[in-house]
Amino acid sequence: MASSVFRSPKGTRDVMAPESDRQRALVAAFADVAVAAGYGQVISPIFEDVRVFHRLGEANDVVTKEMYDFEDKDGRHLALRPELTASIVRAFVQHRPRPPWKAWYEGPQFRHEKPQAGRYRQFTQIGVEVLGPDDPHVDVEVIALAWRFYESLGLSRIRLLLNTLGDPDCRPSYLVALETYLNDHRGDLSEQSQATLATNPLRVLDSKREPDQAVIAGAPLMVDHLSDDAGAHFSAVTDGLQTLGIPYEISPRLVRGLDYYVKTTFEFAGDALESAQNALGGGGRYDDLAEQLGGPATPGIGFALGVDRILLACDAEGVFPAPPTEPQVFVVDVTGGEQAMALTDQLRQAGLRADRAWGNRSMKAQMKVADRSGAAVAVLIGEGELANGTATVRDLRGDTGQQEVSRTDLVATLQQRFAST
RNA sequence: GUGGCCGUAGCUCAGCCCGGUAGAGCCCCGCGUUGUGGGCGCGGUUGUCGCGGGUUCAAAUCCCGUCGGUCACCCCA
């Protein structure tokens, strides 16, 4: 590492096998879950008009400090997407699919942050968005989708944190009450929180700083100031989760980072993770975003899950190992390599994972490579086999020895052996 | 953006405090076994000591800066 002139940029990394196999499998598993629930994939551009992201919040670091934005050769002000919900809603507004529109996505996102465990400048998220219905059962479906997905990976140390941020009928008056309270206790707040209070009072509730805790504990809560409609919506969501048997914790101080959220918000905390970055995913309702992006007023809800963090959690819980990618058959050819060339081609056409050694090395050396490849069987071709029109099939993982098989039967025999795996 | 710790072979690390011209294990390659891996034994390859500057007769070792990693804060997936 130290000797290379170039390195991956700060906060980015190369995901290599077998970790990349695992990431691919994770995304594939999520795709299966989403498709089974009626979601269609959206592959949107990695960069967008920077204004698409301005609705995330003017007081928000993601927008103000962390965006990779640039001007292209035509003078357009673009940004690498820092999240995907805004892109998906932009696509909705642009194409006007008939609601309810259920979309899933996967892909890299970019934020110029200081890297840390589970936090990178390029990171991958998977997620869904539903545009159209404001039915609280949609909230339940979306939350359940994420929950069942975590379960299917084998994760068990996950907590669902649930909150509501109210709606336009009740949030403004609540914010006044909160701001008044915080201003009354301004002197007891940390310097940081005093600054936050000026720009986004809600986020003071999320402070982890010790001196703030006493003030926060006495602060008025959104859940106690809900309008009838917002209250009914929240109750319907919690009722639905109970019906499905999905455990949740009301977390009245849970404040999601992006400003477009209203009503239901949620986060999945990974308790197996030691690091501070233990949020494995989160989401919420954004009923005004489509209109803010120039489309028809259309309620929406969705979530995004951090792929890198989920895999860290899987490591911590010892679940979701990398899928097998080692060859099933390894061809050892000591007659010059022509046989290996032809046979691996045949085996691959037959649907088997097959590999070989290079450089016309000794049988001993090739067998060593075969063993390390993880292959289940080695197929040996030497002068004898070549003369007889046969190949020696040797078991590398058990004690069943080896046998000479006619070349005409070889591929079919191996195909049969690996038929179920 | 702020602060703590770290940066020596492909990997994990010792050496740094008390400056004297670089080590271990693993991995890799070969041989023991000129048609057979996994065990064992023997031998071998591998380093701008992150980078730049300073102090010194001499710097992996001391000092400054810088880049990268890591952890916490901030923020967030």
A198 belongs to a structural domain = no
Q: Is the CB of A120 under 7 A from strand B?
A: yes
A214 belongs to a structural domain = no
Which ipTM was obtained for this model? 0.85
Task: Give yes or no for residue A323 having a pLDDT over 50.
Answer: yes
Q: Do A122 and A37 share a domain, yes or no?
A: yes
Read off the CATH number of the domain in which A144 is found: 3.30.930.10
- Shortest CA–C1' contact from A125: which nucleotide? B77
A11 belongs to a structural domain = no
Task: Give yes or no for residue A2 having a pLDDT over 60.
Answer: no
Q: Is the CB of A15 under 7 A from strand B?
A: no
Residue A127 CA to residue A236 CA, distance in Å, equals 23
**A191: confidence class by pLDDT, cuts 50, 70, 90:** confident
Q: Is the CB of A73 under 7 A from strand B?
A: no
Q: Is A340 left (phi over 0), alpha (psi -120 to 50) or beta?
A: alpha
Q: Do A313 and A334 share a domain, yes or no?
A: no
Q: Please report, rounded to whole angstroms, the spatial distance between the CA atom of protein residue A360 and the C1' atom of nucleotide B50.
A: 39
Q: Do A349 and A293 share a domain, yes or no?
A: no
Read off the CATH number of the domain in which A390 is found: 3.40.50.800
Q: Do A38 and A138 share a domain, yes or no?
A: yes
Q: Do A379 and A240 share a domain, yes or no?
A: no
What does the pLDDT read at residue A355?
Answer: 95
**A201: confidence class by pLDDT, cuts 50, 70, 90:** confident
- Shortest CA–C1' contact from A310: which nucleotide? B77
A218 belongs to a structural domain = no
A179 belongs to a structural domain = no
Looking at A317, A337, A367, which one is the last position of a domain? Answer: A317
**What is the average per-residue pLDDT within A190-211?**
79
**What is the average per-residue pLDDT within A39-49?**
96
Task: Give yes or no for residue A59 having a pLDDT over 80.
Answer: no
Q: Is the CB of A195 under 7 A from strand B?
A: no
Q: Is the CB of A2 under 7 A from strand B?
A: yes
What does the pLDDT read at residue A57?
Answer: 66
Q: Please report, rounded to whole angstroms, the spatial distance between the CA atom of protein residue A3 and the C1' atom of nucleotide B24.
A: 21
A1 belongs to a structural domain = no
% pLDDT > 90, chain A? 64
What does the pLDDT read at residue A1?
Answer: 44
A322 belongs to a structural domain = no
**What is the average per-residue pLDDT within A4-30?**
88
Which structural domain, as residue segments, surrounds residue A52? Answer: 19-170+226-317
Q: Is the CB of A14 under 7 A from strand B?
A: no
Q: Do A294 and A351 share a domain, yes or no?
A: no
Q: Do A105 and A165 share a domain, yes or no?
A: yes
Q: Do A276 and A356 share a domain, yes or no?
A: no
- Which is higher by pLDDT, A2 or A118? A118
Counting DSSP H helices and E strands in chain A, the numbers are: 15, 16
Beta bridge partners of A130: A102, A301
* pLDDT tens string A153-162: 999 999 999 9
* pLDDT tens string A282-296: 999 999 999 999 999
What does the pLDDT read at residue A168?
Answer: 87
Q: What does the radius of gyration of chain A's CA atoms come to, in whole angstroms?
A: 28
Q: Is the CB of A397 under 7 A from strand B?
A: yes
Q: Is the CB of A348 under 7 A from strand B?
A: no
CB A280, CB A310: distance < 8 Å: yes
Looking at A290, A317, A344, which one is the last position of a domain? Answer: A317
